[in-house]
Amino acid sequence: MKNRIFLTMLLSVAIGLPARAQQTGSSSNGQAPASQSASEREPLTSPKPKDFWDGDDPNVMNLVTHPFANKKYVQRQVGPIRDRINELDQITAENAGRIKDVDSRAQQGIKLASDKASLADQHSTDASNKAQLAQTAATQASTRVSAAEQMVGNLDQYKGSAQTEIRIRPGQTVLSKNAKEALDSMAGALKDQRSYIIEVRGFAPGQGQAAIASSQKMADSVVRYLVLNHQIPVYRIYELSMGNAAVSGEKHVSSARVEVSVLNNDLVSAAK
């Protein structure tokens, strides 16, 4: 009788404990959809028992300890959780790698943008310096142009300061000793002067082009002497071949001669 009561109690415990375990499993399954919304993954499912013994040997010991103290049962319950934890660890590692990669690319982008900004600032500074140099050059050029305009405007202010007449035989271009001394005296006074021009006019008797050609040769000989012997710049010499043209009240040219006149601009000298 006592044995029957003991067996009945064991059977009651064995039947009641799996039912309580199933209720606990069902309650844990009921909370799974909440985690699904958070992780967007399927909820963990506990393995369904095949039968009452769930793969264990049907003996009295397993009947007493089933299902709480059974190692296989615990492994079956913990295995899916362990797998999900490993999966979450893998996902976390992947996310950490992606975050690190994004951060690295962001840092590279920031550095590249900073370098480009620095280069743009340098170009802007260079452009500003060049603009200032150009403005300075333009101001200097404007000042020089104004001075040149003033000088050009005063060109008609030249006045005769010296005049020398060189007598030459008609048809000849060789300067006499007296002619050279006269030119030396006139050119010596112009050594340190700048605001002057020399007018050389040749006159020759004769008719038409013959007289003009003869006067041209005589004027050329005077110009050549001033340039070669006294280093008078050619641009300061203004040469005219007058031929037999009469001037200063003359009716006609009676003798060959070359008139050399020095013209000074006192306004230009004062401006300098």
Mean pLDDT estimate for the chain: 75
C-beta pairs of 242-245 under 8 Å, 24+ apart in sequence: 242/201, 242/202, 242/203, 242/212, 242/215, 243/203, 243/204, 243/206, 243/208, 243/209, 243/211, 243/212, 243/214, 243/215, 244/203, 244/204, 244/205, 244/206, 244/207, 244/211, 245/203
pLDDT tens digits, 181-209:
999 998 888 887 878 889 999 888 888 88
Beta bridge mates, 166: 258
C-alpha torsion sign, points 124, 125, 130, 132 = positive
Ranges of each domain in the chain: 2-69, 158-271
Identify residue 224 by its one-letter amino acid code. Answer: R
Chain Cα centroid distance, residue 71? 76
Question: Can you tell me the distance from the alpha carbon of 24 to that of 62, in angstroms, rounded to the nearest whole number?
Answer: 20
Beta bridge partners of 258: 166, 202
- Give me the CATH topology for the region 158-271: 60s Ribosomal Protein L30; Chain: A; (3.30.1330)
Whole-number pLDDT of residue 150: 67
Per-residue pLDDT in tens (0 to 9) along the chain, 272 residues: 545 555 555 555 555 555 454 444 444 444 444 444 445 656 656 556 555 555 556 665 555 555 555 566 667 777 778 888 888 888 999 999 999 889 888 998 898 898 888 888 888 898 889 888 888 888 888 887 777 666 556 555 667 777 888 888 766 778 888 889 999 998 888 887 878 889 999 888 888 888 888 889 989 999 999 999 989 898 889 998 888 877 766 666 677 888 999 988 765 555 55
Q: How far apart are CA 25 and CA 77, in angstroms?
A: 10
Q: Which two tokens stand for residue 63?
A: 């009947």
